[in-house]
Chain A
């Protein structure tokens, strides 16, 4: 299978401390790939490296054989990688619909729509409404995003990540802080909206990981210690020692 996103020997130092230590990762076209690991393992740092928010100290990232490490985040996004954030990053005073409209604007080449009234941009508005529908927020579309419930805001976060239309999607803890029901709802939503796309997801909730992922990578202290199918990961001795042993019992 071909690798759509590939990290080779990534290293990231923050001053003296080494957060990512020679990490290599290969994500297949169209797969749902989960990255798990204990707190402080470097999962969010990895996402920031893959999306251009951080630049690696050494090593490279490739998107379909094209080098993307070193590019600023907006160019990484235009190359086809979209992401969500662990801490909800929306535009709170603007309506849900407007949040999504901003997210789809770049795809339509309207980065500098200086002379176009927003209400007149028919294609962009249609596209935005469609996306609002897909993440099931039509009922609250006119509400300020800051007034939504937490799980609605997380759904909006996913919708915004879908906006630019990249076919590689990185979701950072999409169900963090949710109840069981909310998490199950969100997992179903993610499965629905990411069909046909490549998904990389950071997750703490093991039931979410095992129900969603085709393959799992285990990140421990800045290194991938194993990448395999869920059952194999469950059985992997090293993974159990490093991670599941201390955390899974509680989950």
Chain B
């Protein structure tokens, strides 16, 4: 529970973080356009997750309908882009996200005024869910505002030397906005009000006796969280040059909860790390297999069971452990990684073979030829009837589990 205030080398992490951001900023020089696109989406997801965690992790208000503020920001931006396109007024593309911020802070503030009325805990979550579902239901019926089923599209106007026709321009714009917003949110947690929001999470009932109006103390973080979600939505509109009412669906609301818990809500960057990993995983895995959603679910379950505080804190603990105890800890960490990979590969292999057998194409080929065709997994052809195939799949799971039981005792410290 307790946030690690003073890690052994806070400065070291700051330097490492700066280096990573610099490396990402240089992405256009060594990454393909496809990867730039994927990473841009990942940064947007990271910004969205940080905005969500500002409300749920820091102020302790779990929002199940956060897609509402993402969507509002996205539509605000697309309308502003259209207005700029029509020549109604002038706003350079890099500043379009400001419209998302404005729409997000208004939407978050208004929703907060209702959601914080007298609800807390589960009731608060239900009210936020209801608000986003309300918008999701109404949106397709308002043609002018949300463009019905098809949505609204526009295009990015050029600004100075940046024509934003190239993926790298969009990528850089998204990265800059994400980093600036992350820094502002990090600073917010360190303002007097940010500390007060944390006190709200810790013990809401105590605050009135210290002279604070709890109601407004809750509405303000809601509005701020909505503002950053709105910026994320605006960036999404810029990236896709379109906005559709499906943005308001529970999918985005669910994804942000998953990202936050996978990354870990107790560390500031945890949700962002979770969002980046899962977005990249989603793109890579959805190319490779149809069952990627299943694997995403399995990863979530496995993580919640073994490292309920999230990936980010697990990684930091491991790094600290290695720094403290040297080569032995490093070896142990590597062994655990290999064991987890073995288990994952075994499970994936078994699932892939079974799901491919169950496809209609495979069944058709089987009835026509009477043969069980071999199936390609990991670029290797496997005969589904051969005991060797299943020995490899089950064997790697068993070996992995045995290795975990032997070396993995100290993973996943109790919360």
Chains A and B are bound partners = yes
Give A contacts to B, CB under 8 Å.
51-53, 72-74, 77-78, 82-83, 85, 89-95, 98-99, 101-103, 105-107, 110-119, 121, 124, 144, 146, 160-161, 163-164
- Contact in complex: A90, B192 (CB < 8 Å): no
Apart from A93-B198, A163-B210, 15 more pairs, CB < 8 Å: A72-B208, A77-B208, A89-B206, A91-B199, A93-B2, A105-B210, A105-B212, A107-B211, A112-B216, A114-B188, A114-B193, A116-B191, A116-B192, A117-B187, A118-B191
Decide: A74 and B208 in contact? CB cutoff 8 A: yes
Q: Does any Cβ of A come within 8 Å of B203's Cβ?
A: yes
Closest approach, in angstroms, between the C-beta of A145 and any C-beta of chain B? 9
Asked if B205 CB lies within 8 Å of chain A CBs, one says yes
CB-CB under 8 A from B7, the residues of chain A are none
**Chain A: CB-nearest residue to B194:** A118
In the complex, what residues of B have CB within 8 A of residue A78's CB? 211
The chain A residue sitting closest to B188, CB to CB, is A114
B192-221 contacts to A (CB < 8 Å): 192-196, 198-199, 202-203, 205-214, 216-217, 220
CB-based closest 9 A-B pairs = A113-B192, A106-B211, A73-B208, A91-B202, A89-B206, A77-B211, A74-B208, A114-B193, A164-B211
Chain B neighbourhood of A105, CB < 8 A: 192, 196, 210, 212
Q: Does B405 contact A (CB under 8 A)?
A: no
Chain A proximity mask over B1-15: 1 for CB below 8 Å, otherwise 0: 111010000000000
Q: In this assembly, does B190 line the interface, its C-beta being within 8 Å of a C-beta of chain A?
A: yes
Partner of A93, one of B196, B202, B205, B220: B202
Given contacts A74-B214, A93-B1, A94-B202, contact A118 B195 (CB under 8 A): yes
Q: Could you say which residues of chain B place their CB within 8 Å of the CB of A103?
A: 210
Known pairs A111-B213, A117-B187; A91 contacts B206 (CB<8 A) = yes
With a cutoff of 8 Å between Cβ atoms, the chain B residues found around residue A146 in the complex are: 2
State the interface size on chain B (CB cutoff 8 A).
30
Let me know if B209 and A124 touch, CB within 8 A: no
> Is there an interface contact between A101 and B213, defined as CB atoms closer than 8 Å?
no
Q: Which residues of A contact B194 (CB under 8 A)?
A: 118
What is the bound-complex CA distance between A115 and B188, given in angstroms?
A: 8
- Residue contact B203 to A91, C-beta cutoff 8 Å: yes
Q: Please determine whether B191 and A115 come into contact, CB atoms closer than 8 angstroms.
A: yes
Query: Does A114 lie within 8 Å of B191, measured CB to CB?
Result: yes
Q: Could you say which of B1, B191, B203, B206 contacts A117, with CB atoms under 8 Å apart?
A: B191
B208 touches A94 (CB 8 A): no
Chain B residue numbers with a CB within 8 Å of A160 are 206, 210
Closest residue of chain B to A52, judged by CB?
B208
Task: Compute how far the CA of A95 lies from the CA of B217 in the bound complex, rounded to whole angstroms.
Answer: 20
Residues on the B chain within 8 Å of A116, using CB: 191-193
| Contact of A114 with B220 at beta-carbon distance under 8 Å, contacts A74-B212, A106-B211, A119-B190 already known | yes
Question: Do A106 and B2 form a contact, CB below 8 Å, given A92-B202, A94-B202?
Answer: no
Neighbouring A residues of B211 by C-beta, 8 Å: 74, 77-78, 106-107, 111, 164
User: Do A93 and B3 touch (CB < 8 A)?
Assistant: yes
Q: Which residue of A lies closest to B209 (CB)?
A: A83
Contacts A82-B209, A163-B210; A113 near B202 (Cβ below 8 A): no
Contact between B210 and A94, CB atoms less than 8 A apart:
no
How distant is the Cα of A112 from the Cα of B1 in the complex, in angstroms? Answer: 26
Residues of B within 8 A of A161 (CB): 209
Do A110 and B192 touch across chains, with their CB atoms under 8 A apart? Answer: yes
What residues on A are CB-neighbors of B216 within 8 Å? 112
Within 8 A of A (CB), among B160-198: 187-188, 190-196, 198
